[in-house]
Amino acid sequence: MYAKCGGIEDARLAFEMVPHDDVILWSFMISMYAQSNQNEQAFELFIKMMWSSLVPNEYSLSSVLQACANMPLLDLGEQIHSNAIKIGHESELFVGNALMDLYARCSDMESSLKIFLSLRDANEVSWNTIIVGYSQSGFGEDALTVFRGMRAAPAPSTQVTYSSVLRACASTASINHVGQVHCLVEKSTFNSDTIVSNSLIDSYAKCGCIRDACKIFETQKEHDLISWNAIISGYVVHGHAAHARELFDRMNKNGIQANDITFVALLSVYGSTGLVSKDSLCLIL
């Protein structure tokens, strides 16, 4: 109850007052620490649980692996992996997904893929984890290959799926792939999703199709800072300084607070064309 209300330290105090013979309570506290990015505390509590001669379950293992991935610390994660193998939990879905995420965040996609292929019942989280890992590691073609396998499985595509696959398309500069994924998005429930739309804007712009990027931007129901930055950066990269300036003015009128990404894009415009005044740039700081 305390942890759900945000009071993790209060939950820890309550935890310390009850008998420590229930692995579920330990797992709950470890999970709360990991989800709150208090990773050292999560790992410390996991070690104490082991010293108490309790056998970790799939939830405590997946939570401490999440903490290792957050840091990220591959050596610690590999030790937990060995422990999971010894007690027979390596093939559990929660543990497998957490292991995949750990290895992917540590840029060990070979190990992440090995875990993925060993899972008996991969779910959408499993598929997304490997796609995100490949995409963030710069292996766009591999991410697209996994996405095709995900569709054939079949496994449901999510917001994470589409945004990650579009990032992969952008890294390969494949406009054909962007268009294919866009068609799938239009047929899905994520056609109006801001995060997916932002990924479409970014992908079209990076593949040289600034008009398509602009079309997505103008038809978006809601624009967040990422939306504005994506379209402004797209126009800057393609040399449309005046359009970038106009969008920056619209962004200010809509009350969107610029950040460093906006500043860098507009500084480029100012340096090359002088279209953005120093006074305008001061609005970003």
Domain boundary among 120, 142, 165: 120
Give the CATH number of the domain where residue 83 resides: 1.25.40.10
Q: Are residues 178 and 131 in the same domain?
A: yes
Q: Are residues 4 and 68 in the same domain?
A: yes
pLDDT at 1: 45
Q: Are residues 6 and 107 in the same domain?
A: yes
For the stretch 74-121, pLDDT in tens is 999 999 999 999 999 988 999 999 999 999 999 999 999 999 999 988
pLDDT at 270: 64
pLDDT at 272: 55
**Structural domain boundaries, residue 141:** 122-222
Name all contacts of 280-283 with Cβ < 8 Å and 24+ positions apart: 280/245, 280/248, 283/252, 283/258
Answer whether residue 135 shows pLDDT above 50.
yes
Answer whether residue 279 shows pLDDT above 60.
no
Q: What is the mean pLDDT of residues 125-145?
A: 96
Q: Are residues 203 and 234 in the same domain?
A: no
Answer whether residue 284 shows pLDDT above 50.
no
Q: Are residues 180 and 230 in the same domain?
A: no
Q: Are residues 148 and 113 in the same domain?
A: no
Q: Are residues 67 and 148 in the same domain?
A: no
Domain boundary among 222, 238, 257: 222
Q: What is the mean pLDDT of residues 140-160?
A: 95
Q: Are residues 149 and 104 in the same domain?
A: no
Q: Are residues 130 and 205 in the same domain?
A: yes
Angle at 155 between CA 117 and CA 31, to 5 degrees: 70
Q: Are residues 91 and 39 in the same domain?
A: yes
Give the CATH number of the domain where residue 191 resides: 1.25.40
Q: What is the mean pLDDT of residues 180-185?
A: 97
Q: What is the mean pLDDT of residues 150-164?
A: 95
Q: Which residue has the higher pLDDT, 264 or 135?
A: 135
For residue 269, what pLDDT band results from cuts at 50, 70 and 90?
low
- Within 8 A by CB and 6+ apart from 51, the residues are none
Instruction: Give the global pTM.
Output: 0.86
Q: Are residues 94 and 136 in the same domain?
A: no
Domain boundary among 120, 153, 180: 120
Q: Which residue has the higher pLDDT, 273 or 248?
A: 248
Q: Are residues 103 and 1 in the same domain?
A: yes
pLDDT at 3: 47
pLDDT at 2: 46
Answer whether residue 285 shows pLDDT above 50.
no
- Environment class of 222 (CB within 10 Å of its CB; exposed 0-12, middle 13-18, buried 19+): exposed
pLDDT at 280: 55
- Count: domains in the chain: 3
